[in-house]
Amino acid sequence: MSETKNAYVERQTGNLKSWSAEIHKFQEKASRMIGKNVEKSKKNIADLNVMRAEMEEKVIEIQKSGEAGWEELKTGADKAFKTLDKSFKTAKSFFN
């Protein structure tokens, strides 16, 4: 059975909250860094914030869409979520 729009929005909203918490952890770790890693960490965090904000906009757009049109929006959002998730995994390896 296919996921409903509301379930999808709820699941992705949960992902966004988790990613926001991760970004906060990265910011805390970055504040303790020294040397050349400082600039790289700031860029990683800035990039993640931009991608997370874009995903939040996609979720809002899906939430506002009608039942008939949300599936099209979901396809694009799923691709973007996969990219964001991959970026978070890369950032985790940098910050750990």
Arithmetic mean of pLDDT, 65-82: 88
CA pseudo-torsion sign 20, 58, 43, 86: positive
Q: How confident is the model at residue 94 (pLDDT cuts 50, 70, 90)?
A: confident
The confidence score (pLDDT) of residue 63 equals 93
Render pLDDT for 17-42 as a digit per residue (tens, 0 to 9). 999 999 999 999 999 888 888 888 99
CA distances from 91 to 1, 27, 53, 67, 71 (A): 34, 11, 17, 35, 30
Residue 84 tokens read as 């964001």
Q: Give the residue among 92, 68, 94 at the shortest CA–CA distance from 5.
A: 68
Sequence-ordered list of residues with C-beta below 8 angstroms from that of 33, at least 6 positions apart, any chain: 41
